Structure formats: structure tokens, C-alpha cells
Structure 1
Amino acid sequence: MTDELHGKKVAILATDGVERVEVEQPRGALHAAGARTELVSLHPGEINARQSDLHPAGTFPVDTKVTDTSAEEYDALLLPGGTMNPDQLRTAPEAVRFVRDFMESGKPVAAICHGPWTLAEAGVLSGRRLTSWPSVRTDLRNAGAEVVDDELVVDGNLTTSRGPQDLPAFCRALVTEFA
């Protein structure tokens, strides 16, 4: 266990349909580095996780609703993927505002897989370089981003990876970039 992130509080914005491994592994890396995390969602209670989008994979307890918090309360933001999760988040004005506020604040933001969809909806990708799951790339380009097919991309305060296969590099970068 290290202490690079001691005293840091990280929001994980997710809702039903989140890819389980894209919450568990990054959260584990953040905790191992001393950070505290809170799962922020659209509704209270629990959210349903998935494995490979197709299979139910248990639940995660929600710490707070996005309407009950703000970017000011956190040091960094994690946007996990799964197809259904960001598809719902990008249609919720309060989630889009939360993401936009993070990006505009300059605080670190990390997104993996389909997670950047919410960034596109927030209108914060123009001129940014990033990567994502292949099926999201056209939407990201249409939002003004330069999209590449790399394991990991760090562009200023934004860190992105393509999907679960990239989690080892993504988790290492989270700790470095969030520190």
C-alpha cells in the first residue's frame, strides 16, 4: 500500500449497467494508494453491474446521488464504462453538468471504455486527444476530439483507455494522474 493519494476523495460516477471490472479494479488501485472513493449515481440504493454488457454481475451500493453533490466536493472523477451506464448518464442533465463541472475545473478526470460518451454530451472534448471503446469513437470525433487507438492516453487533466484489456495501464495512470 502506498500513500500517493492520501487525503484525496474521488467520485466514481456510474449507474445501472456499469461494467463491474471497470469499477472494481480502478477503485482497488485508488484505495491501495490511499484515496477515498464515493459512488455517485442517478438514484439511491444500489446500481446493477454487468460483465461484458451481457451478464448480470451483482450490485454496488450508491454513496450519494449526483443531485446531492458537486464537483467541488471531490479531487478527481472516474467514469467507468459498460454500454448502458454512460448511455443513461448522458441523458441525465445533472450527470452531464457534474462531468462538465469537473472538466472545466481542471481537476483530473479518467474515463474507460464507453465512459467518454458522457464527456461528449458535456461538450468538453473539442480539441482533446483520447481513446475509447471502438463503437464510441465516431461520437467522440463528432464532439471535436482527436481519437486514437492506444492503450492509454493522457491529455492534460483527461486520462482515457479503450476497455477492460487496458485496466492494468489505466489503473497505474489513475494513481499517477490523480496524485
Structure 2
Amino acid sequence: MQFGKEINSEYDLLDRLRKGDHEAFTKLYEKYSVLLIPTILRLLKSQELTEELLQKLFIKIWDSREQIDPTKSFKAYVYRIAQNMVYYSFREDSRQKRLLDFVINQKSESYSHIEEDLINKEMEDLVKAAIEKLPPKRKEVYLLFRYEEKSYKEISDLLHISTSTINDHLQKANKFLREELNKKEFVWLLFLLLSQ
């Protein structure tokens, strides 16, 4: 390969990417981000979330570049990663929403018994205690997003931070809360059994 020679074939770009070539990475990003954006946007229904997912996807590609096989379809590889990331995003959001809805909305049931009220209060207290352990800025972002239902843009305008910073805070908050609630799950189940 001669220096300065324009390389157009995908095989060569992938081979260069494997070796850590930033120019090859940029060309692949430009080519595939244009193809991926409409699909991801249709699923996530948010330009900001789409851009964030796309950035994360290409960070994954860069981090695992040495395992890329230039002889295999890069398009299929990229689409599979994107599909898995969207699926994981939906699964995590759904799981968090179900847990929080369960804890917060259980009190609104009209035929709630005293025992159920105690259990719901205990669970709600566990969630609130876990949220209180978050770092101040992360807690503020989490509360604005989850409880006040603000969009990334609204939070960005309000707190003067980037949407990628907001996303980082939310991911770390969700991970921390899951771990905290999993630790408390045994205590909660014991409380549930004792209250029956």
C-alpha cells in the first residue's frame, strides 16, 4: 500500500481500522451513521437519544476493532450491535419504569389493605433512600427525568449540561439504584412474608 493512496474498498478500511487508523474509522462512521440514523430514530423517537446511541455504538466498534473480521459483512455487524443496543435500552427503561410504577402507584389502588400499605411504604422508602445516596447532580438529573418527566433538552437547558452528560448521569443512576434495590430485595421479601 503506497502512502497517500486513496483506499475505497471496505475490506481495506476495515483492515486499517483494526490497526487503529482514525481516518478509516471516520470514513466508516460517516458511511454507516447515515444508514443507521433513520432506523434507530424510528425506534427511539428521539434525535438526541439516537445520536447518543450511535456514539456509543461506534465507541464499541473502536474498542473492539481488533476483533473485526474484514472478510465478513461489516453492515450486518453494525446493524446487529445497533439492534442489541436499542433492545437493551428498551429493556432497561421498561424494567426501571415497572419497578418505580409498582412502588409509587400501588398506593393509589382503591382496595388497599393496611399490610399492603405498609409494604408499599417500605418499598417506596427503599427507593427514596437509594435515590438519596446518588451524588447531588446525578440525583437532580434523575429526579427531573423520572419524576418531573423532563426531556433531555429541557434538562440540558435547565442545568446547562450536555445531553451526553445527562445520559451518563441517568445510566449510572439506574445502575446504582438497581444494585441498591437488589441488595434490599431480601429485606423487602422478608418484610413481605412477616406482614402476611
Given the two structures, how large is their TM-score scaled by the length of structure 1? 0.25
Larger RCO (CA within 8 A; separation ≥ 6): 1
Greater percentage in strand: 1
| Structure ID, larger Rg | 2
**Higher helix content, 1 or 2:** 2
| TM-score with structure 2 setting the length | 0.24
